[in-house]
Amino acid sequence: MKPRLLWLFLGFALACELLDVQAPSRVPASVLDNPGQAELLVNGAQADFECALASYAAVGGMLAGELEDATLSAGRWDYDRRTVQPGDAYGPNQCNDGSFLGVYTPLSIARYQADNAMRHLAAWTDQQVANRHLLTAKASAYAGYSLVLLGEGFCSAAIDLSPQLVGDQLLDSAETRFSTAIAEATTAGSAEILNLALVGRARTRLDLGDSAGALGDAQLVPASFEYDATYSATSSRRENYVYQQVNKSPFNTIAVPYRQFLYVFADTIDPSKLDSVPDPRVAVRFDSATRMFDNRPGQWVQLKYQSIGAPIPMATGAEAQLIVAEIVGGQTAVDIINALHAGVGLPQFRSANPDSIKQQIIRERQAVFFLDGHHLGDMNRFKLPLFPASGTPYPVDATNPKGGFYGSATRFPLPDKERFNNPNIASDVNPGC
């Protein structure tokens, strides 16, 4: 995919009308209320989403059991321990707030900025804005992905001071944004944004239980398609936070189930025996020279992202293929799995058992989507077993427990920031699921 120019300084500039004081580095909203700044608006929404996605992948990776906390900061343990509280930092913090990354506010900002760009573009004409349909398609797609992450990873949320919206309501809103993106990308003749939106809508429809709709979208996406969120070392808001939180600084370590992620298969000579090989898509290693911030010696680090500026896959043909495999099943699913295996040098998968095929699809998704923000949604959709089990002393692999016991939360609750400041949500509403 060709690199896309980002106007990186817009992270919060586009919401400056919400602030009482304008910093000199911020762009006044009045400057952006101009057809000549349409591309700037959309690039700003894109930059906001990319920051939010990286934070979601890192913080959500703890809640999803891909990462473990490796600090002595008790405020982070709730994610790893699955005991998330509505007052925790994921709610009010920004996406680049050090070791206490925010998730809800960054995703909400990204969604607002994308919707705001769409509103402006709808009011302007093709004569005023070059590539208006393409820009509308991009803004709609980024709004859709922001809502997908809120719908998959949160108990509830709000849109522009709306009443409390639960997961399916947020996903319905995402589907609407993706449908707009598909229509606008088709008009613009952009295969890239069309496929981005098709993968997003297929993902959303799968979450909503619309298998026929998800299949129809996924089958239209080329297997080779990939659209990435981009990062760089130019500023903290542009960093890949998975790399930052694991490789750059030992805030996290790879969770136990991913330290030796194996593909297990029947021996080709004696099918009654099982063989196994490491899955290269879950690339990790043990760094014995590092002492983590909680004083444990050694750290498991990820190798999927090789630098602070490594891109995070946002939508891929592999995801579309796995959606097809999940819905169609049978030999179609086996063929898709084996095509994915061939691409990374793994042995073939052989089975005609529907349950075995489904379990392998789940396993494929764990590998393909390792640390990219998908697995938290999969935990909820597939109702995957929790590891460590609820009630286990925390943490499971430390000689000196940090305190408490693993809980059962697999979604972030509605943050106190929203609950106490939104006039359309009662302050005593249940923030959990």
As a whole number of angstroms, the distance between CA 263 and CA 242 comes to 24
Q: Which domains does the chain have, with CATH numbers?
A: 8-249+308-396+408-421 (1.25.40.390)
Per-residue pLDDT reduced to its tens digit, 104-144:
999 999 999 999 999 999 999 999 999 999 999 999 999 99
In degrees to the nearest 10, what's the CA dihedral of 191, 171, 413, 424? 120
- Which pLDDT score is estimated for 126? 97
- 387: tokens are 């590891």
CB half-sphere exposure, 244, CA atoms < 13 A: 26
As a whole number of angstroms, the distance between CA 268 and CA 180 comes to 49
9: exposed, middle or buried (Cβ count in 10 Å: 0-12, 13-18, 19+):
middle
- Which pLDDT score is estimated for 13? 41
As a whole number of angstroms, the distance between CA 330 and CA 360 comes to 12
- Which pLDDT score is estimated for 26? 52
SS (H, E, C) the chain: CCCCCCCHHHCCHHHHHHCCCCCCCCCCHHHHCCHHHHHHHHHHHHHHHHHHHHHHHHHHHHHCCCEEECCCCHHHHHHHHCCCCCCCCCCCCCCCCCCCCCCHHHHHHHHHHHHHHHHHHHHCCCCCCCCHHHHHHHHHHHHHHHHHHHHHHECEECCCCCCCEEHHHHHHHHHHHHHHHHHHHHHHCCHHHHHHHHHHHHHHHHHHCCHHHHHHHHCCCCCCCEEEECCCCCCHHHCCHHHHHHHHCCCEEECHHHCCCEEEEECCCCCCCEEEEECCCCCEEEEEEEECCCCCEEEEEECCCCCCCCCEEEEEHHHHHHHHHHHHCHHHHHHHHHHHHHHHCCCCCCCCCHHHHHHHHHHHHHHHCCCCCCHHHHHHHHCCCCCCCCCCECCCCCCCCCCCECCCCCCECCCHHHHHHCCCCCCCCCCCC
Strand partners, 227: 315
Give the chain's radius of gyration (CA, Å). Answer: 22
Instruction: Please report, as a single letter, which amino acid is at residue 421.
Output: N
Contact at 8 Å (CB) between 239 and 308? yes
Residues 6+ apart with CB under 8 A from 394: 77, 80, 81, 401, 402, 403, 404, 405, 406
As a whole number of angstroms, the distance between CA 132 and CA 117 comes to 11
Contact at 8 Å (CB) between 338 and 348? yes
User: pLDDT tens string for the chain (433 positions)?
Assistant: 434 433 333 443 433 333 333 433 455 655 668 999 999 999 999 999 999 999 999 999 999 999 999 999 999 999 999 999 999 999 999 999 999 999 999 999 999 999 999 999 999 999 999 999 999 999 999 999 999 999 999 999 999 999 999 999 999 999 999 999 999 999 999 999 999 999 999 999 999 999 999 999 999 999 999 999 999 999 999 999 999 999 999 999 999 999 999 999 877 667 777 889 999 999 999 999 999 999 999 999 999 999 999 999 999 999 999 999 999 999 999 999 999 999 999 999 999 999 999 999 999 999 999 999 999 999 999 999 999 999 999 987 766 679 999 999 999 999 999 999 999 999 999 998 8
CB half-sphere exposure, 265, CA atoms < 13 A: 18
Contact at 8 Å (CB) between 350 and 311? no
Residue reference for tokens 């925790």: 88
